[in-house]
Amino acid sequence: MQRSAPRLTRILAAAAVPVMLVVAGCSSDTGSGSGSGDTGAAQGKATATAAATPSPTPTVEPAKFAKLPPACKAIAAKTTASLVPKAKNEKGTAAASTDLSHRGGCSWNGLEDKGVKGSQYRWLDVSFYRYDSEVSLGSGQARAQENFAKELGKIQATTGAKKMSTTSTTGVGDEAKTVTYTVKKTGEDFVYASVVARTGNVLVLLSYNGAGYAGAPTPDAKKIVAGATKAAKEAVAAVAAANK
């Protein structure tokens, strides 16, 4: 019985070794799991940081002009008097507008009786259109450019127009084109010069036309174009003056 005690001790010691190895293995797995948890936490923080960063706010180029000039005062009185002698209303007739900060217009017309030489009729009108900058629509300048092309197209599509010609006009705003043509009305040939001009975010549309009655000669096209160009330059300058 005394010899069996050491043997029993050795058996118990050998049986204990696998148990220690299993415990050690579990301890190692637990440590690995802890590392994975740290990685997930870091990823979660990165995602939260990305979500917290705000998206850039869309911007658009500011509009150059915020005001329009009074349309009936945009062209000098001496100019309108020379272009439209005997005007019915020397101060001009304002066009109806519900928003003068974005659109306005004025016109002058008159018939000058020259006795046995007949009569000369003249008509002058000017219109202003201002475009604001909006993120959803674009800058005021870009919108004015787009409508420049549209308004030019409308004039070029004038019903009954003959001898039509379109030319670029220098010295009138950022860009300008003049359309000349004739139209038969009331039995006479009306000579037209229509100027489409853009200055910044503002469009200026000016039309000058005339006809001779009772034997009076048809107006000289070059003089009509010269008169329209002079008036258009004054109208464009008035836009800048109104925004000083």
The answer to whether the CB of 232 falls within 8 A of the CB of 172 is yes
**Is residue 19 domain-resident?**
yes
Domain that holds residue 126: 71-242
Dihedral sign, CA of 46, 47, 51, 57? positive
Looking at the fold, whether 109 and 169 belong to one and the same domain comes out as yes
Helices and strands of the chain, counted as H and E runs: 4, 7
Closest to 217 measured CA to CA, from 243, 180, 191, 236:
191
Looking at the fold, whether 7 and 109 belong to one and the same domain comes out as no
Per-residue pLDDT tens digits of the chain, which is 244 residues long: 444 444 434 443 444 444 433 333 433 444 444 444 455 555 555 555 555 566 777 899 999 999 999 999 999 999 999 999 999 999 999 999 999 999 999 999 999 999 999 999 999 999 999 999 999 999 999 999 999 999 999 999 999 999 999 999 999 999 999 999 999 999 999 999 999 999 999 999 999 999 999 999 999 999 999 999 999 999 999 999 999 9
Predicted TM-score (pTM) of this structure: 0.77
Closest to 222 measured CA to CA, from 194, 184, 180, 188:
180
Looking at the fold, whether 164 and 198 belong to one and the same domain comes out as yes
- How far apart (Å, rounded) are the C-alpha atoms in residues 151 and 157? 10
Angle CA 97–204–186, to nearest 5:
80
- How far apart (Å, rounded) are the C-alpha atoms in residues 146 and 221? 29
**Is residue 63 domain-resident?**
no
Check residue 28 and give its pLDDT: 41
Check residue 22 and give its pLDDT: 37
Looking at the fold, whether 80 and 120 belong to one and the same domain comes out as yes
